[in-house]
Amino acid sequence: MPLLVFFIVISFSMYVFYKIKYVRSSRPVERKWLSAKSSIALGLFVALFGVNQLFLFQSAVTYIVAGIFIVMGGLSVFAGIKAYQHYLPFAIKEAEEA
C-alpha cells in the first residue's frame, strides 16, 4: 500500500498547490477554473483515503465510512471535471485578452 499512500500525498499536495494559485490569481474566471482543479484533487484525496481505509481496517463501520468517503470523493471529482471543462474555454479567452 505504499503506492496508495504516495498517491494520497500527491493529491493532497496538488490540492494545496491549486488553492495557493487560486488565492494569488486576480482574474475571476481563472479563479473558478483553479477552484475546479482543486476540487478534483481534493476529491481524489478523499476517495483514495477511503480506499486506503478499506485495506487498513476490516470492520463494518470501516466499510460504511470508507464507502461514504469513496462516493463523496467520486462526486467531487465528477463535479470538478464538469466545472473544469466548462470554465476552460473562458479561462483561455480571459488569458488571451490579458
DSSP labels, 71-92: HHHHHHHHHHHHHHHHHHHHHH
| pTM for the model | 0.93
pLDDT reading at 33 higher than 80: yes
- Give yes or no for a contact between 38 and 87, defined as CB atoms under 8 angstroms apart: no
Quick one: pLDDT at residue 1? 76
pLDDT in tens, 64-86: 999 999 999 999 999 999 999 99
